[in-house]
A = this chain, B = another copy of it.
Amino acid sequence: MEALEILLKHRTIRKYKSETVPDNLMEKLLKAGIRASTTGNMQVYSIIHTSDPQIKQKLAPAHFNQPMVLQAPHILTFCADFNRFKRWCCQRNAEPGYDNFLSFMTAAIDALLVAQNVAVAAESEGLGICYLGTTLYNADAIIEILKLPRGVVPITTLTLGWPAEQPEQVERLPLDAVVHDQVYRDYTPESIDRYYSEKEHLEANQKFVQENKKTSLAQVFTDIRYKKADNEYFTEKLLAVLKNQGYINTSL
């Protein structure tokens, strides 16, 4: 199918058939993945492909037991990875200088561009995917389960398989809410009202507010889904991971 059509049709798939993806198809998806742009062609990422039910069982709690982790036949964990590159440098009489936060971001960007390529490739072959944002929350546990050495940090995860559902496409803000012409023009109370109006008036979102006994949709986000205390707790955990994995040094 045309690439643009694939992108426009994207839906997150959370229910999968049990059939696995044939090895040659998986290879095709991953090969398309690694054609993504990468800083200086360093390819400072790794992809862990997990299908073993026992390892998936261990990963599930790290992803807050979201059912996709056990149900999807394939789990792809995309990691920032300077470990391989550093080993190469050391073997070639070159002194790597990548134990810093900029290098972490460089590697994280690499990993994410590959992940999105794999997502698009998968959808173009009729497969479904779901991103797991929990990857950064419990990076410490994932590091242990997937045996990630120093220099390797999991950034995001895709669950992958043949769709067993056909969900409606979810809404997005109007395009001009997120695109700025020439420079950023900051929002006004009026433009915020206008841009969020459609989202707030959707029946599903209004139901969401009622069910959670809140007075606004925004409160569902701040009080339930993405709470300050949780964000701060997982921030501390993530910063500890970056220190342990060698991307933040003591000067912070």
Report B-chain residues with C-beta under 8 Å of the C-beta of A252. 239, 252
CB contact list, A179-218 vs B, under 8 A: 179-187, 189, 192-193, 195-196, 215-218
Q: Are A182 and B117 neighbours in the complex by a CB distance under 8 Å?
A: no
Report B-chain residues with C-beta under 8 Å of the C-beta of A225. 40
B interface footprint on A6-46 (CB within 8 Å = 1, 0 otherwise): 11111010000000000000011011111111011111011
Would you give the shortest CB distance from A127 to chain B, in whole angstroms? Answer: 12
Report B-chain residues with C-beta under 8 Å of the C-beta of A223. 94
A68 at the interface (CB under 8 A from B): no
Complex-state Cα separation, A84 to B175, whole angstroms: 14
Complex-state Cα separation, A108 to B195, whole angstroms: 21
Q: Are B181 and A49 neighbours in the complex by a CB distance under 8 Å?
A: yes
A177 at the interface (CB under 8 A from B): yes
Complex-state Cα separation, A147 to B125, whole angstroms: 41
Would you give the shortest CB distance from A220 to chain B, in whole angstroms? Answer: 8
Q: Are A109 and B51 neighbours in the complex by a CB distance under 8 Å?
A: no
A88 at the interface (CB under 8 A from B): yes
A71 at the interface (CB under 8 A from B): no
Tally of A interface residues using CB under 8 Å: 124
Pick from B81, B119, B196, B216: contact of A93, CB under 8 Å: B216
Would you give the shortest CB distance from A115 to chain B, in whole angstroms? Answer: 8
A124 at the interface (CB under 8 A from B): yes
A69 at the interface (CB under 8 A from B): no
Complex-state Cα separation, A52 to B87, whole angstroms: 44
Q: Are A32 and B52 neighbours in the complex by a CB distance under 8 Å?
A: no
A48-B102 CB under 8 A given contacts A187-B83, A218-B89, A221-B42: no
For A215, the closest partner residue in chain B by CB is: B93
Would you give the shortest CB distance from A106 to chain B, in whole angstroms? Answer: 7
Would you give the shortest CB distance from A140 to chain B, in whole angstroms? Answer: 13
Q: Are B83 and A42 neighbours in the complex by a CB distance under 8 Å?
A: no
A7, A79, A125, A133, most chain B CB atoms within 10 A: A7
Report B-chain residues with C-beta under 8 Å of the C-beta of A108. 105, 108
Q: Are B183 and A120 neighbours in the complex by a CB distance under 8 Å?
A: no
For A106, the closest partner residue in chain B by CB is: B133
| Shortest beta-carbon contacts, A-B, top 4 | A97-B228, A3-B124, A94-B218, A92-B218
